[in-house]
Amino acid sequence: MTAAIFYILSAAALLATLMAITRKNPVHAVIYLVHAFFALALIFFILGAPLVAAWEVIIYAGAIMVLFLFIIMMLELTPGEAARGPGWQRWAPVILLSGSIVVCTLLLMTAEPQAGPGGPNFYASPRDFGYGLFKEYALAVEIVSFQLLFAAVGAFYVGRGERTRRRARGDER
């Protein structure tokens, strides 16, 4: 049962990725990629990583893809394309992917909890996770936090406005 759900979700993730990388409109690509990430999060849950699944949804689908959407909208990259073909042709992949993901979620919620704590399969509880992350890999966490700080500084430097740049050169008057 759970194995069948895994294969369905894998097909959904690969199909969504294929649709994403062939779209002309970047907004459509991002929406398909969000579908792929949802399917991937459910696969992570099946493989015994509930916390990673939650972060896949929160960080990737929620933060990074929304950042992509912001940039696409800010730069006005969407081509004003005319609608071609009947409407169901454009909506069919989205409805198919969303429906399969929702159905798989409901099946996983109602299925026997094979991947729960104490089951035969591997399951990483949040307690084990935090223990490993902040005890064994505390140095890596610190280094990653430094990297995030550097990225924030770098993004601010690259994205500073023309006014700040002129002031830095000293010809603002």
Partner 1 sequence: MIVPLEHVLIVAGLMFGLGFACVLARRSLIMILIGVEVMINAVGLALVGASAFWHNIDGQLLVVLLMALTSAEVSISLAMVVYLNRRKGTLDADAYNEMKG
Residue ranges binding partner 1 (CB under 8 A)? 2-3, 6-7, 10, 13-14, 17-18, 20-21, 26, 29-30, 33, 36-37, 40, 43-44, 46-49, 51-52, 55-56, 59-60, 63-64, 67-68, 71-72, 74-75, 77, 114-115, 121-122, 124, 128-129, 132-133, 136-137, 140-141, 144, 147-148, 150-152, 154-156, 158-159
Shortest Cβ 88–partner 1 spacing (Å):
25
CA dihedral 148→154→158→164, nearest 10 degrees, is 110
Shortest Cβ 116–partner 1 spacing (Å):
13
- In whole angstroms, what is the distance from residue 14 CA to residue 36 CA? 7
21 or 88, CB closer to partner 1? 21
The candidate with the shortest Cα–Cα distance to 2, out of 149, 132, 97, 111, is: 111
Q: How remote is the C-alpha of 76 from its chain's centroid?
A: 22
Q: Backbone phi, then psi, for 103, in 5-degree steps?
A: -65, -40
103 or 153, CB closer to partner 1? 153
Shortest Cβ 3–partner 1 spacing (Å):
5
82 or 158, CB closer to partner 1? 158
The candidate with the shortest Cα–Cα distance to 24, out of 90, 70, 87, is: 90
Helix and strand numbers (H, E) in the chain are: 8, 0
95 or 141, CB closer to partner 1? 141
